[in-house]
Amino acid sequence: MSSSLAMLVLFRLLQGFFGGGLQPVQQSIILDSFPPEKRAAAFSLTAIATIVAPVLGPLLGGWLTDNYEWKWIFFINVPFGIITCVLVTIFVEDPPWEKAVKSRIDVIGISLVSLGLGCLEVMADRGEEMNWFGSNFILIMAIIGVTCTVGAIIWLLHAKNPLLNLDVLKDRNFAVGTVLVGAMGVALYAGAMVSPQFAQQVIGYTAERSGMMMAPGGVCVILLIPIVGIFMKHVQLRYIIATGFLLVSLSFYFSAQLHPNVSFSFLVIARIAQIVPMAFLFVPISTLAFATLPDRLNGDASAMFSMVRNYLGSQAISYCGAGLVNFQQIHQNDVSANMQTWRPEVQDYLQNMVQIAKDHGIAASEAQTFAMAKLYREFMIQIAMLAYNSMFHALALIMLFIVPICFMASSIKGDGPAKGGAH
């Protein structure tokens, strides 16, 4: 219904404001409804929706955009929202212990967290475009973001009724799990951004075909999550999670084999390789993080858990975009050195393009311009391709660094905490 860009941005802002609390509430409901030994199964069901939705979303969104108009991307959510409201009203109840707690709104905490994280997100999103700290605006965003974030931490540690109870981080498994879910968010969102962007901007895929490239990975995850759930009963969660991050790292390394004539099947396989390891991460990390946490902290823990995953995921999207620009600038010097017009192979290419232009009826005076335009296009494609490969290599290295962190958690399996617990 938006009639202007400002109106669209406003409603997207409201959508994020009202929808941001859904994930922690959903997770808190699971924690309050299931004992530790059954949470893995419950997390498995929600993991299918959480992981598969961003994978299948581009396919459906691309099909709607190509065949109808972009507004249907939003209209299609209306009936599902109505059905969800009805079902929540009927089936969801607050736990008794929560009803007894008198909650107060932590205005200062909300303000500091929102302003701090919001400014840091703006800095990450607009930094490359505005020359980072060469821009006064980005510098101001950084100062406000860091100041408010530090202030928020101090406030949350000393406030009587804080927005988030940071005591949740005293539990070792939750602290480790929060770091791991943040890394998982980086892998999930970065892969979901880089792969289709390459397909559309470099290869020239439509939004629908790009979505088709992404969809098979979601199907594989659906099939694999129940199998991982079985392993969780017999294998320590930290080993499963470490395996997952190692596979993610290998998948990004495998994906860094892009070339101008890359096939659709390779892109599909690469995306499957990126998304399948999520089956080894989402449920095991969620189960590990809440295994030894007191029930009274479930609400605070769920909020922080979801916030870290989503925020670092959004940061990953911003910094991947900036990283691609920087990698293009780096590779531009290398590629340009090999595409000088005096080089014999370049001269042969230009002569071939000139002849092709003449064969298609282009005047001799314009054929050279046509040939140079084709050379420039090849130049830009090579730069972009190398930049995307470098981006995948960087992501692979980051995920590899996460693997040792997995072993900082306790020896817990998917059927509940080990005897004696661990904090």
pLDDT digits (tens, 9 = 90+) for 11-37: 766 776 666 667 667 767 777 777 767
Q: Name the band, by pLDDT with cuts 50, 70 and 90, for residue 5.
A: low
* 108 and 152 Cβ atoms separated by less than 8 Å: no
pTM above 0.75, yes or no: yes
Q: Say which DSSP state 159 is in.
A: -
Q: What is the spatial distance between Cα 307 and Cα 44, in angstroms, rounded to a whole number?
A: 20
Q: Report the pLDDT averaged over residues 71-79.
A: 81
pLDDT digits (tens, 9 = 90+) for 147-204: 999 999 999 998 888 888 898 999 999 999 999 999 999 999 999 889 989 988 888 8
pLDDT above 90 for 250 = yes
Torsion, Cα of 66, 68, 73, 78 (10° steps): -160
pLDDT confidence of residue 421: 44
Domain ranges for the chain, please list them. Answer: 23-103+168-415, 106-160
pLDDT digits (tens, 9 = 90+) for 334-364: 777 776 766 777 777 777 887 787 777 787 7
Q: What is the spatial distance between Cα 24 and Cα 94, in angstroms, rounded to a whole number?
A: 14
Please name the residues in contact with 385: beta carbons below 8 A apart, sequence gap of 6 or more.
Answer: 202, 258, 259, 260
Q: What is the spatial distance between Cα 235 and Cα 132, in angstroms, rounded to a whole number?
A: 46
Closest listed residue to residue 271, CA positions, set 328, 184, 212: 212
Q: Name the band, by pLDDT with cuts 50, 70 and 90, for residue 376.
A: confident
Residue 410, Cβ density class (10 Å: 0-12 exposed, 13-18 middle, ≥19 buried): buried
pLDDT above 50 for 282 = yes
Q: What is the spatial distance between Cα 73 and Cα 58, in angstroms, rounded to a whole number?
A: 10
Q: Which fold has domain 23-103+168-415?
A: Growth Hormone; Chain: A; (1.20.1250)
Closest listed residue to residue 222, CA positions, set 51, 60, 61, 59: 51
pLDDT above 90 for 320 = yes
Bigger pLDDT: 309 vs 96: 309
- Percent of the chain scored above 90 by pLDDT? 33
pLDDT confidence of residue 351: 78
Report the 10 Å Cβ neighbour count for 409.
27
pLDDT confidence of residue 423: 46
Closest listed residue to residue 144, CA positions, set 152, 154, 156: 152
Q: Report the pLDDT averaged over residues 371-377.
A: 78
